[in-house]
Amino acid sequence: MRVKVSDAYMRHALDHLPEGAVEPSPILKVVLPDDREILYKEIGEVDPSNQNKYSPMAGLLHKYNMLLAMTSINCSSHCRYCYRSDLFNGSSGKEKADIVNVARYAKAYNRHIQEAIDEGEWSSETGTHITETGEPLLPLKEILLSGGDVMTLPNSTVARYLVLMAEAGMKTVRFGSKELAFNPSRFDDSFFSTMDLFHQNYPDVRIELVGHYVHPYELVQPKIDAKGKYLYDCNIEYTVHPEVEAALSRINARRSWFGHHNQFPVIAGVNDQPDIMRLILHLTNKLGMTMHNVYACREVIGNPHFRGDLTIDRQYDLLEAAKIGLSGLENHARLIMSTEQGKMDVLGHKGGKIYLRLNRFVHGRKPENTMVIVDS
C-alpha cells in the first residue's frame, strides 16, 4: 500500500493538537507506514475469509443474502491496516465491479428466487417462503457499495449506481465509506442535492452510510490531562471537528431515509484500550450514528502487527470493559469474527474455550447448530 493521506485528515491530526501533548496524534498511526509492514510482507491472509469463493463475477461478492460490489479502487487516504489491500495490490485477483453486470446478476437471481417462491410454501417460523427441503427462499434486497471507497466517485456515478440498484430491486443501498473523516467536504450541496433527487424518485429505497471511524479523534478534537496524556473521558465535552460537524448535521437531517452507522476493528496501538473504545461507542450514539459491529482484528498479509497479541478472548474483554458505564443505547456493539463460514458473534470465554455463535449465514441458510466452541 502506497502512502496516501488527505489534507483534512492531517488537519485533524495536527492543527488541533493540544499544547503540552507529550505524544503525536494517535490517529497518525492509522495512515503513516511502519517498517514492520516490510517485515511481515509475506505473513498473513492474502484473501481474507476466502472471499473469492463467494465471487460469482469480478468485483462482486454474494456471501450472505445481500451483495457487496467493489465499486472503486480508490480512497482519500490509505489505512495501513486495510482489509482490502488485496484489491489495491492485486494479490488475490480481485477487480473493480462492472455495475451493469451486478444489476443484471441481481435481477436474474431474484427472478429465479421468485419462480421458486411461486412453488414454495410460506413459513411463519422463518418469515419466508421455503422449498420442499426446508430451505428459505430469500430474494436480494440489499447491496453494499464498497471498494475502496464509493464516496470517492463523482456524484453522477453514485447516482447512476443508485438508480441501477433500485431498478434491480434493492431496497437498501449501503455506502461503505470513511470520507467523513478523510474528506468531510465531500458532503457538500451537490452531494445532498443528488441524494435528495434520488429519494424523491425512489422513496422506498434506504441509503445507509456505514463509516469506519476507528478512533474518537477522527471525529473530535483531542484533550489532554495535566501530564500531557490524551484523555478519553465520556464525562467531558469534546469539540467535533468543524467540517465533520457540518456534514453530520446535514446527514442527520435526513435520517428517516439516509442512515449513518459506525463499525470498526480492534487495532493494536490505535484503539486497544477500554477508554478509547468506550469514547467511540459514546460518541457514535451522541453524534447520531448507529453502532454496528466491532470486528476482531484480522491478520491481513503485511499487517500482523495491528493484531499483535490481541487474542480473541483479549479483544472480547476489551470491548466488555469499554461498555462499563455506558447506557443501553450505547453498549450494544458486538465483537464479530469474519470467517469463511459467516460472521461469528463472540459470546464469551471460559476455561480456555471461546464461545461463538454464527449470526450471519451464507446465502441466509441457517445451519442446524449455530454454536461453535474453540480453544482460546
Query: Residue 71's pLDDT is what?
Result: 95
Helix (H) or strand (E) holding 28: helix 28-31
Please give the grid coordinates belonging to residue 204. 422506498
Give yes or no for a contact between 95 and 58, defined as CB atoms under 8 angstroms apart.
yes
The three-state secondary structure class of 147 is coil
Model pLDDT, residue 140: 95
What per-residue confidence (pLDDT) applies to 215?
A: 98
Q: What is the pLDDT of residues 336-374, one digit of tens each?
A: 999 888 899 999 999 999 999 998 888 777 788 899 999
Low-confidence ranges of the chain (pLDDT < 50): none
Pair 278, 232: CB distance under 8 Å: yes
E strand or H helix at 293, and its extent? strand 290-295
pLDDT at 93: 78
d(Cα 75, Cα 61) in Å, to the nearest integer? Answer: 20
